[in-house]
Chain A
Amino acid sequence: MVKPSRSYRVFQGVNGVILTLVVLVTLYPFANILARSFSGERQIRAGEVALLPKGFNLTTYEIVFQDSMFWRNYGNTVLYTVVATAVAMVLTTCYAYVLSKKHLKGRGVLVGIAVFTMFFTGGLIPNYILVTSLGLKNSVWAIALPNAISVFNLLVMKAFFENLPAELEEAAQIDGLSTYGVLLRIVLPLSKAVVATMVLFYSVSFWNSWFSAFLYMDRTDLMPVTVYLRNLIQGATGGGNAGAGTEQLSQVGANIQSVTIVLTALPILCVYPFVQRYFVSGVMLGAVKG
């Protein structure tokens, strides 16, 4: 290599400083929320909590843990995520497999039907009326069915299937396996990587989703934990009720918000270090092939 010039070394130094700042700005809010969730009311109100908890206590965690609605909504989130991911995986896998067969007549049309929906969608109101008149309100199907196929995930999976060796499937077919048999016994076992990635993509997005539940669930005991959190946030700020008299109350509220944020994000934060690279490679695959 050429010896780095003086100005380049200066640039490297500045670059390091900028990127350190990026890391700090990204992480600070998390650290602060975590610190608040363990801190005392008085210290938070005085604005003393920065990176470390002040006046360490677990009272707020106890309050949240004793709220049966919180647990109920947390359980709902788990249930909705599992059901919706299962439905999404079945439909996406089937369609992606069909689209990956290059000899199939009408394949272009089938691809077009899916891709067009990326550019034009029905809009909120017709969707709302549709789900309501199908009688899906207040059931997990209102969350699972309207979002059953993400076209982006579909294209990623299709690209993966296209790269599988065709000879293997042909051999299996000669040995007497039907198309279903080939898909279940040959293709899927070979596709563990992409299946795992898609399960991750879907489950994270369903875990994080709130709006379908917010729209289609009428009762609080059917809400996922994201809506529980949303209601906490709106309750604390909606309508400008931050008058002096309610200060004590809103402080408790703010602390409960921190705890709920931590608990809602916890599963994602726990799996994040392990799954991050799958997401990244999935996005790249989708971008290159889609």
Chain B
Amino acid sequence: MSTSTTPAPPGTQDPPAARAAPRRGRRTPARTGWRRALRRDWQLYSLAILPLLFFLVFRYLPMIGNVIAFRRFEPGGSIFGEEWVGLRYVQMFLDDPTFWQVFRNTLWIGGLTLLFCFPVPIVLALLLNEVRRRSLKRFVQSVSYLPHFLSIVIVAGITMQMLAGDGPVNHVLGRLGHEPIRFIQEPEWFRAIYVGSEIWQTAGWGTILYLAALTTIDEDLYEAARIDGANRWQQIWHVTLPGIRPTMVTLLILNIGTFMAVGFEKVLLLYNPLTYPTADVISTYVYRAGVESNSFSYAAAIGLFEAVIGLFLITSANQLSRRTVGTSLW
């Protein structure tokens, strides 16, 4: 559009040719169009070559590489495996009791994370929104974002220090006359530790988008609600929450999409053989089976299974939300 309004387009290309092209190109519009585009923008396309190579090699090739889930892989051999074995590896993990244990653990941890970590930022954003002193609000926000900027290794380290035998938590328990608990070694504590540290790390950062959404709500709506006699609570219920609903739904869809891929790195850092019964999730099992035990094809089959469920979850959540609330990612 902008090129047609400028009287003198780039001198390299004469206007008659540009005008003639559509007439000539009527027979094969697509090909002629491409040839013109390439001639005019070849420098732009050349800038895209390296990035495209990156996507091809490091993103799409591994997707295709998943075929080793159905082929026998030999270390040092082709990355696509040596021969077809069909669903042998799928059958293997379906018969594997450890697989079902890690599957259950994944559902547990994923479900608990969704249940507790999704609503906390919303509540926190609503509370922050009610703070009238800007400096105070800014201070609370800055502090609550902080854990997000630290390495997950540091977060895991801090978590373990807090829960150590001589850590503050056990210190408080001691004051209350309770025996010290070895949190990190007890399987029944793992889920609580995981979800708790996840909230600690992500809650503040999660408020950003909600706070942004809150500022876009029309002040007039509150005015109208007040005139209609709505109290504060009713205003929140009938104006604020509907105002941030698109953001809520979008983030919910994204959370559901990553449901299966529960914080792999954090579990890997926090768990140990004693807590495997509750802590071992699909992705950590894939890591151990593949990288540590060299059963690449078997591990790839489980990884693919996990990814397919993830894709299924995100597309169905998207569909559902488009039908019910009219918000969707695509």
Known A-B contacts A120-B63, A121-B63, A129-B65; the reply to A26 vs B204 at CB < 8 A is yes
Closest chain-A Cβ to B173's Cβ sits at a distance in Å of 10
Q: Which residues of A contact B226 (CB under 8 A)?
A: 2
Q: How far is the CA of A27 from the CA of B146 in the complex (A)?
A: 9
Residue pair A123, B50 in contact (C-beta under 8 Å): no
Q: Is B24 an interface residue (CB 8 A)?
A: no
Q: Is A226 an interface residue (CB 8 A)?
A: yes
Residue pair B142, A264 in contact (C-beta under 8 Å): no
Closest chain-B Cβ to A247's Cβ sits at a distance in Å of 9
Residue pair A119, B257 in contact (C-beta under 8 Å): yes
Residue pair B48, A95 in contact (C-beta under 8 Å): yes
Residue pair B161, A239 in contact (C-beta under 8 Å): no
Partner of A123, one of B62, B142, B164: B62
Residue pair B58, A145 in contact (C-beta under 8 Å): yes
Closest chain-A Cβ to B266's Cβ sits at a distance in Å of 11
Q: Is the interface of B mostly helix, strand, loop or mixed?
A: helix
Closest chain-B Cβ to A6's Cβ sits at a distance in Å of 12
Residue pair B68, A50 in contact (C-beta under 8 Å): no
Q: Which residues of A contact B140 (CB under 8 A)?
A: 19, 22-23
Binary contact readout B124-154 vs A (1 if CB under 8 angstroms, 0 otherwise): 1001101110000001101111110111111
Q: Which residues of B contact A173 (CB under 8 A)?
A: 10
Q: Is B73 an interface residue (CB 8 A)?
A: yes
Q: How far is the CA of A145 from the CA of B61 in the complex (A)?
A: 14
Residue pair B54, A233 in contact (C-beta under 8 Å): no
Give chain A interface residues in 69-124, CB to chain B under 8 Å: 90-92, 94-95, 97-98, 101, 103-106, 110, 113-114, 117, 119-124
Q: Is B107 an interface residue (CB 8 A)?
A: no
Partner of A211, one of B2, B68, B131, B265: B265
The contact sample of 21 A-B pairs, CB cut-off 8 A, is A11-B130, A12-B130, A22-B204, A26-B143, A94-B47, A104-B41, A105-B34, A117-B60, A120-B311, A123-B62, A123-B303, A126-B303, A127-B58, A127-B62, A129-B296, A148-B58, A204-B149, A210-B153, A234-B269, A254-B161, A272-B146
List residues of chain B with CB under 8 Å of any chain A CB.
2-3, 6, 8, 10-11, 33-34, 37, 41, 43-45, 47-48, 50-52, 54-55, 57-66, 68, 73, 79, 124, 127-128, 130-132, 139-140, 142-147, 149-154, 156-158, 160-162, 164-168, 170-171, 174, 182, 184-185, 200, 203-204, 208-209, 212, 226, 232, 257, 265, 268-269, 272-274, 283, 286-287, 290-291, 296, 299-300, 303-304, 306-307, 311, 314
Q: 8 nearest interchain CB pairs? A: A122-B62, A126-B65, A208-B151, A179-B43, A95-B51, A105-B37, A123-B303, A126-B62
List residues of chain A with CB under 8 Å of any chain B CB.
2, 7-8, 11-12, 15-16, 18-19, 22-23, 25-30, 32-33, 36, 44-47, 50, 90-92, 94-95, 97-98, 101, 103-106, 110, 113-114, 117, 119-130, 133, 145-146, 148-149, 166, 170, 173-174, 178-180, 183, 204, 207-211, 215, 226-227, 229-230, 232-234, 236-240, 242, 251, 254, 257-258, 260-261, 264-265, 268, 272-273, 276, 279-280, 283-284, 287-288
Other A-B pairs, 5, CB within 8 Å; known A32-B161, A124-B287, A125-B296: A22-B203, A122-B66, A174-B11, A240-B185, A287-B212
